[in-house]
Structure 1
Amino acid sequence: MTIQNPTYLWALLGLLVPLAIHLWSRKAGKTVKVGSTQWLIASENTRFSSLQFNEVFLFVIRTLVVLLAVLILLDLVQKQPADARKMAKTWVLTEKALLKDARVRPQVDELVKAGASLHLLEPSMPLVSPKELSQETFPPKEKAALQTSSDPKVFTSLNYWSYLRELDTRVDAPKKVIIFAQNNQQRFQGTRPNLGLEVEWINLPQQRKQVFLLDALQLPKDSLLLSIGMSDESGTQVIQEKIGRQANTKIKDLPSVIVKDAQVHFAQVPNEGIQIRVPTPKRVLIVYDQAYNLDQQYLKAALETVGEYMQTKVEAQTVAWDKLASRNQNQERLDWAIFLGKASKGTKAKPNISNQRIVQQLRPSNQWFAPDEAKPNVYYLQQRVNPEINANVLKVTFLEELTQLLFANPNAQERLSKFDQRQISLGQVSPQKKLETDNQIVNQNEGESETQSYHLLWWLALVIGIVVERLIQANRLKV
């Protein structure tokens, strides 16, 4: 039972009225017939000298009448849960692979027993029945559905926010969603959505750091340049190690590296091997102005030196900015274009004549090259390649960085995304709550529960009570 108008509780003070009447009223005495009243002696009124409760049944009737009137004012109703088909339930969303995780499964089982609906965190969000959950026979994916993180080939296809947007537009959308997932940064693409759902995010941090092979480049003298990645929830870093091409190599603080045929893998994870890359020839164009004439000469010599070291051809061509327009544009497309200095008037600043570009942009830095955050195919040359101005160009560090950039693995970023464990805070993960209008709140409350009013019953009982009380009172006066 629920009181709709609790301010009318003060009306219960009306119960004092019948109580006072029955405490202070005297019971009628016997009638004595006499010839004259002059011989009768007047007696004192003892109404207030002693309180005596009388006519209990009539008091009960009057009390019930007052109570019924108060109940009508209070608008007493009973809320009943709506039909299960109409009431929005709580959904539990998680990935199929996480249902076998010891950290997730007990909590999921408890929520399902409590009445929550379990769905897989993937397109269309299929329902998992309790029977399927106990037997671990989960519903198959649709052909167009994206695979979960258990498949490394499409690991980055997961986008939790897009799934929640889809769920928010569904007719059967629940009121609350509990999500068991790892809040890896790469799984949240686009802007944080505004949803009408109540989302509770339960984070599952990584239990250990991920160590993986990112690349293996063939070097002269039967050696390899390994790129090794290490990632945890706080960040990802890549280190490089040069090893001999032998069957088993031990690297300090890292797992043993196994080299077999044209593949390399860690001893603990033989199924995560990578192919050894052989350097391929490169075609490079250097565009410069006269202020960078000496820079382009040293840069061209450095590129040819790198090619000789890597035992492959690195063809380096040079052209001044003012002669770039007359260059034959029908030549074979370049792998790299390096721009030194400023373009001449009337010349396009950075023509699209290559797949990847290096642009001179001087910065106070110890590194030679820095990637552009917005453009993955653009790098910045942060120091002058001129020994008269910068003696660092004569150090081996410049050639090492130039070699790594020139022969970098184009597929390294895709593999890095597979093992990237960086996570974002729960405050950034959870969608923003959409503000609801008054009409939406009313409709939502109507969908959650149904109320049963007793107004007709109370009025009928009140009328009956008044009639009974009047009949008893009239009969009492006749006696």
Structure 2
Amino acid sequence: MSSATILLPLLFFANPAALWALLGLLVPLAIHLWNRRPGRVVPVGALRWLTAGANRRMRRLHLTQWPLLLLRLTVVAVLAAALLGPRWQRPARPARPQVLVSPEALASPSWPLLRSTVDSLRRRGAELRLFAPGFPRLADSVASQPQPLANNSDSSTITAWFWPLAAEAADSFPSQPLYLFTSASLAHFAGSRPALPPRLRWQLLPLDSATRPWLQAAARPTADSLWLTIGRTDASGITFRRRRLAWPQQLPQLLTVPGLPPLQLRARGAGFVIQPADSTTAAVPVVRPLRIGIGYDSTRRADVRYVRAALRAAAPALPAGLLLRMHPAARAEILAADSLDWLLWLTDAPLPAALNRQVPNGLRVLHDAPGPGRTAAATVAFHDFQDATTRLLRRSNAPAGTTPCWTDATNQPVLSEQRRGRGADFYLCTRFHPQWSTLPDDGQLPALLLSLLDSVAPARPEVRSLDARQLRASGPTPPPATPGPARRASRDLRPWLALAAGLLFGLERVLASRRLSRAAA
């Protein structure tokens, strides 16, 4: 049982040096003794017997009129106290802990396991709030059982970012202990980790779907087959496996895959999609192998070898793989008949009319640098790959009217784009050759080509979880913060003392005037 905290008031002085003003009490005392009341004149017959007694009385100091003297001393004491700057204050009540719970945590099956912890904090006076903008209060009944999310939305689709919200909570509740219970979904932890105070304690709840597999991608590599890429995550990372099914004879068709909810394969537009049979969201498109063609001339034979090797290395990362066609530029009519998704045009020759007409219909063409180029010494950093850098040795200028996609350290375009209908032309200001850049040798070409060629792939929901160790700041652990003195609300007593001194002085003047009136009478 915790003992109740007794809050005692405190009187302190802002100007203790003014204690010397109390010496002013000697002034009214000395004046009172000096200005004694004169004696009455009494006619007597002879002074022979009175002289000795009168002299003894003259040597005695008698304090007379005690009420008036005490009143004057009180006035001086009150003024001296006012010079001390007295303040009356009460200690602030202990800061109430704040329990902030995210909506996903309230809906999590793990929430009942935390009820004892939350109930213990509430018995200590903690307030239960929603970890959302504004931090609204929650009723006590909310903590008793899991609460469903609004609109039955999946936690992975909620885009609230926890880092800035945690910093806002620390600013909104200063000097108060904070307890955060949130989902561990990595989708909420975008951006950089802010500096958070040690009084904030954060507990992550595992995702409801952390151990359940999900459908990552679907592909139709051939007319009679269907490939499903199934993902699973745990504390060690994410793993994927591929399951091969036969293409059904008629559509729509229910698909049964162990570990997954019932899936429905149906047509949508010119393609196909797979989605849970009991939902209309999170449809996964069925993709076909990426068709890539390479047109080249005799000056680019070495470039073709590097590009072909990089594409073969990147192919396993594509849901349906890729189909590669390579022909000399002189036989471009063969490439025009293949219904390509991408064309790598590695030659100075202009794009044939048959291929040029396919660009507005969805063909994307990558042109490398024409001509001999010029010597360059620049470094290229890629936004999607933090550690990927490439050095340019030779380069050409980007065509006018294009939009930069990659730029070097001098902000000069390295890869630019020009949209045409549903397709586009991409212009690389260098070549895939060691004499032009380090792309063929630095091992980054497969990943860069994959990010470029598969850039139109649909975004998948974030299913990864944040490691709890990432909640702690990097570097040495700071020492526990020593709680400072509680801020107290003080009241300045000087105006009241000045008023009291004025009233006492008025009372003293009234008593002194009455005394003089009686003496005159």
Kept after mapping to 2: 8 A contact 1:322/1:347: no
Map 1:251-400 onto structure 2 (within 5 A).
262=255, 264=257, 266=259, 280-286=288-294, 290-296=298-304, 317=335, 319-327=345-353, 328-331=355-358, 333=361, 342-344=369-371, 348=399, 351-352=417-418, 360=432, 362=439, 365=442, 369-371=446-448, 377-378=451-452
**What is the aligned counterpart of 1:419 among 464, 469, 476?**
464
1:154 aligns with 2:180: no
Please give the root-mean-square deviation of Cα atoms over the aligned residues, in Å: 6.7
When residues 5 and 278 of structure 1 are mapped into structure 2, their CA distance, relative to the original with a 3 A threshold, is closer
3-state DSSP class of the match of 1:322?
A: coil
**What is the aligned counterpart of 2:46 among 35, 38, 50?**
35
Output the CA distance in 2 between the equivalents of 1:3 and 1:287.
89
Kept after mapping to 2: 8 A contact 1:180/1:202: yes
When residues 427 and 293 of structure 1 are mapped into structure 2, their CA distance, relative to the original with a 3 A threshold, is same
Output the CA distance in 1 between the equivalents of 2:465 and 2:132.
20
1:458 aligns with 2:520: no
Output the CA distance in 2 between the equivalents of 1:8 and 1:187.
58
When residues 14 and 282 of structure 1 are mapped into structure 2, their CA distance, relative to the original with a 3 A threshold, is same
**What is the aligned counterpart of 1:13 among 17, 22, 33?**
22
3-state DSSP class of the match of 1:205?
A: strand
Counterpart of 2:103? 96
Output the CA distance in 2 between the equivalents of 1:368 and 1:155.
34
Structure 2 counterpart of 1:35, one-letter code? A
TM-score by length of 1: 0.52
When residues 130 and 59 of structure 1 are mapped into structure 2, their CA distance, relative to the original with a 3 A threshold, is farther
Output the CA distance in 1 between the equivalents of 2:75 and 2:473.
57
1:70 aligns with 2:80: yes
Kept after mapping to 2: 8 A contact 1:4/1:74: yes
Kept after mapping to 1: 8 A contact 2:185/2:466: yes
The CA deviation at 1:128 is 3.7
Gaps of 5+ in 2: 1-9, 247-252, 264-274, 277-281, 327-334, 336-343, 374-396, 400-414, 433-437, 475-486
- Identity, % of aligned pairs? 13
Kept after mapping to 2: 8 A contact 1:156/1:187: yes
Kept after mapping to 1: 8 A contact 2:99/2:126: no
3-state DSSP class of the match of 1:70?
A: helix
3-state DSSP class of the match of 1:215?
A: strand
Number of matched pairs: 385
3-state DSSP class of the match of 1:65?
A: helix
3-state DSSP class of the match of 1:342?
A: coil
When residues 324 and 287 of structure 1 are mapped into structure 2, their CA distance, relative to the original with a 3 A threshold, is farther
3-state DSSP class of the match of 1:64?
A: helix
Structure 2 counterpart of 1:215, one-letter code? Q
Output the CA distance in 1 between the equivalents of 2:457 and 2:289.
15
Kept after mapping to 2: 8 A contact 1:262/1:275: no
3-state DSSP class of the match of 1:62?
A: helix
When residues 34 and 287 of structure 1 are mapped into structure 2, their CA distance, relative to the original with a 3 A threshold, is farther
Output the CA distance in 1 between the equivalents of 2:424 and 2:155.
27
The CA deviation at 1:79 is 7.7
The CA deviation at 1:277 is 7.9
The CA deviation at 1:152 is 3.3
1:205 aligns with 2:204: yes
> What do residues 287-327 of structure 1 show as CA deviations (whole Å, max 9, x unaligned)?
656443155268669979979x9698655646433124445
3-state DSSP class of the match of 1:156?
A: coil
Output the CA distance in 1 between the equivalents of 2:237 and 2:519.
101
> What do residues 149-205 of structure 1 show as CA deviations (whole Å, max 9, x unaligned)?
x72352335476489889x9xxxx9888957354876436679999xxx99754223
Structure 2 counterpart of 1:410, one-letter code? A
Kept after mapping to 2: 8 A contact 1:78/1:451: yes
Counterpart of 1:187? 188
The CA deviation at 1:369 is 1.9
3-state DSSP class of the match of 1:421?
A: coil
3-state DSSP class of the match of 1:466?
A: helix
TM-score by length of 2: 0.48
The CA deviation at 1:113 is 8.2
- Where relative contact order (Cα < 8 A, 6+ residues apart) is larger, the structure is 1
Output the CA distance in 2 between the equivalents of 1:293 and 1:312.
21
The CA deviation at 1:121 is 0.7
When residues 364 and 319 of structure 1 are mapped into structure 2, their CA distance, relative to the original with a 3 A threshold, is closer
Output the CA distance in 2 between the equivalents of 1:154 and 1:97.
11
> What do residues 13-57 of structure 1 show as CA deviations (whole Å, max 9, x unaligned)?
246527965998999999885623697345598669xxx988764
When residues 20 and 363 of structure 1 are mapped into structure 2, their CA distance, relative to the original with a 3 A threshold, is farther
Counterpart of 1:254? none
Kept after mapping to 2: 8 A contact 1:284/1:337: no
The CA deviation at 1:331 is 0.7
Counterpart of 2:388? none
3-state DSSP class of the match of 2:356?
A: coil
Kept after mapping to 2: 8 A contact 1:321/1:347: no
1:470 aligns with 2:520: no
Counterpart of 1:433? none
Counterpart of 1:410? 457
> What do residues 53-83 of structure 1 show as CA deviations (whole Å, max 9, x unaligned)?
88764554333222332354456577899xx
Output the CA distance in 1 between the equivalents of 2:306 and 2:148.
63
